[in-house]
């Protein structure tokens, strides 16, 4: 039996279908996979305990930064789950935009106000549940724009939830901060402000 579960705990790996584990080394495991959207065959490497050894972590980070500077096609943007935008929780929308960073800023801002993470999900499903507990069920328009059919079905079949007013969730926050948070944490990326808009708001 292939050790496929090793690759799926990230959650968003549903974009790729793991075919087989093709190699194991001192730094990690490599699997062959197929991009379910394009049919492209790829290799995915998961690095074990990347931060356990500082010199190893530094070397790996240096390689990733170099590939990113070269705009290498194999480097994707990822984020820590608790600060991850909805569109990073299942290939929701047609493309990733700077709006994912705006969402992360909102999560960090909320944590500064309350002293604890806003969406501390243990997995992608719980992450989405926590988001919709606060924001309510996404609008039909937003759900219709989602490209991932599984995600679309999941949200359509979700129990309808009403949003919790941010003034109630953050009762001690300045009203201006509350209004900004409402914009930063819009479920649909097209409804989030740009960095320029935040700067001059």
Q: Would you tell me how many other CB atoms lie within 10 Å of the CB of residue 155?
A: 21
Q: Hey, what domains does the chain have and what are their CATH numbers? A: 5-69 (3.30.200.20), 81-199 (1.10.510.10)
The predicted structure's pLDDT at residue 19: 84
CA pair distance 171, 110, nearest whole angstrom: 12
What's the pLDDT score for residue 74?
56
**What pLDDT score does 9 carry?**
45
Q: How many CB atoms lie within 10 A of CB 172?
A: 7
Around Cβ 192, how many Cβ atoms within 10 Å? 23
- Local mean pLDDT, 10-residue blocks, the chain (201 residues): 46 72 73 81 76 73 69 56 80 69 94 93 84 94 81 85 96 95 95 89 66
Give the residues across from 23 on adjacent strands: 30
**Two tokens, residue 98:** 């700077």
Ligand-binding annotation for 150, yes or no, is no
Structure tokens given for 116: 């604890």
Instruction: Give residue 191's pLDDT.
Output: 94
Q: What is the pLDDT of residue 103?
A: 94
DSSP string, 10-45: TSGGGGEEEEEEEEE-SSEEEEEEEETTT--EEEEE
């Amino acid at each position: 039996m292939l050790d496929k579960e090793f690759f799926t705990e990230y959650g968003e790996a549903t974009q790729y279908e793991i075919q087989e584990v093709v190699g194991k080394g001192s730094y990690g495991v490599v699997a062959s996979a197929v991009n379910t959207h394009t049919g492209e065959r790829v290799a995915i490497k998961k690095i074990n305990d990347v931060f356990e050894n500082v010199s190893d972590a530094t070397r790996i980070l240096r390689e990733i930064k170099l590939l990113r500077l070269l705009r290498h096609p194999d480097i994707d943007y990822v984020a820590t789950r608790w600060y991850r935008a909805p569109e990073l929780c299942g290939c929701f929308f047609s493309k990733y935009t700077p709006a994912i960073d705006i969402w992360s800023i909102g999560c960090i801002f909320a944590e500064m106000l309350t002293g604890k993470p806003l969406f501390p999900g243990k997995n992608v499903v719980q992450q989405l549940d926590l988001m919709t507990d606060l924001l309510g069920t996404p609008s039909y328009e937003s759900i219709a724009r989602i490209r991932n059919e599984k995600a679309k079905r999941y949200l359509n079949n979700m129990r309808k939830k009403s949003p919790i007013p941010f003034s109630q969730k953050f009762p001690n926050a300045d009203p201006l901060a509350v209004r900004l948070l409402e914009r930063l944490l819009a479920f649909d990326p097209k409804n989030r402000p740009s960095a320029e808009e935040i700067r001059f708001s």
